[in-house]
Amino acid sequence: MVFQIRRILFLVCILALLTGCAGGYSLARLDDLDSTLAGPITWYSPAVPGDRATLARWRASVGPPVVHSASPALASGADEVTVVSWNTALGAGDIATFVRELRGASPDRPLVLLLQEVYRRGDSVPRRLTRGAAFARRLGGAARVRAMTDIDSIAAELGMAAYYVPSMRNGGGESDEDRGNAILATVPIANLEAIELPFERQRRVAVAATVEGTTTTGQPWRLRVVSAHLDNAIARRGWIASEYGRARQARGLVALLQGDLPTVLGGDFNTWFGFSDQVYLETATAFPQTPTDDQRATFLGMLRLDHLFYRLPAGWQARASRAKHRYGSDHAPLIGAVRFN
């Protein structure tokens, strides 16, 4: 009998470890506590003190956010906005070619790009690491770097509004590179938010903003758009249990995004188990207008890691489909749309 009780307690402990417990994912305002973050961006970070302390070490090794708000307003109303989610593989994805092809058929339709693994290089990234600062290993070899295009160059070339927040430094030493998530749009973006997710393996910062306009009949519309990238493998949990670590990150993000504001959440969620992954199932429940008709793999033709989630008011319609080509990235873009009432 004692042996059975001990066995049950052992299994309960293992289950709690794997699931990462139900709590520990709440997010709270960060800029209220750190005056250095004051500005046009509202910051959020985990409420767990240990997560915040760790994330501060990662934050110390990256450059500041990038905000370009020079995109003109639409000359006329639009009844639909195109929303794309794409992991660009550290700038290897040919964003300019993709955008030109996408806009060829509908040049006047508003376009929003939710990008992951965006690359930035320059003097704004600290050349030297401070004591205790954390960073990620460098991605991209010498030959690949020559083909990489940073977010500043892309935004300038396409004439789009841009909002980029680095998640992590790309390499240690005297690296002048960082990488993270971005939002590019052909319409002005506002209400910028930077959302540090619960810490698992690396610092992950989701970015959110709002875009707005009017329909062809003059009715106003407003949409919150979010770009996120969850951890892939989580060392302290192992490969299989990493699903639960990502679920913790997703729960924090989804809880923060609650409300009545129409929202599109796109990103690389690293759902190794596709549409049966815990991350997908929980997030889709909170975004009930998410379409599921196109379930093709997005990563190297093998795994469905990328998703577009929708929470929309009655009468609005959502679409999502995978692009035919990867345009130089190891992920294929997901092309979505929101059609207004």
Residues in a beta bridge with 80:
339
pTM for this one? 0.90
What is the layout of strands, in order, in the sheet containing 306-311? 27-29, 41-46, 190-196, 205-214, 220-229, 263-268, 306-311
pLDDT tens, per residue, the chain with 341 residues: 433 433 333 333 444 444 444 458 999 998 765 655 656 899 999 998 889 999 999 999 999 999 998 666 666 789 999 999 999 998 889 999 999 999 987 788 999 999 999 989 888 898 888 888 888 888 765 445 445 678 989 999 999 999 999 999 998 877 889 999 999 999 999 999 999 999 999 999 999 999 999 999 999 999 999 999 999 866 555 555 678 889 999 999 999 999 999 999 999 999 999 999 999 999 999 999 999 999 999 999 899 999 999 999 999 999 999 999 999 999 999 999 999 97
> Is the domain defined by 25-339 classed in CATH 3.40.50.1370?
no
Show me where the domains of the chain are located: 25-339
Q: Residue 261 to residues 45, 213, 219, 257, 269: CA-CA distances in angstroms?
A: 21, 14, 16, 9, 22
Q: How many CB atoms lie within 10 A of CB 60?
A: 16
Rounded Cα gap, residues 165 and 227, in angstroms? 10
Q: Where does the chain have alpha helices with state H?
A: 2-19, 49-59, 95-104, 142-145, 151-158, 238-256, 278-286
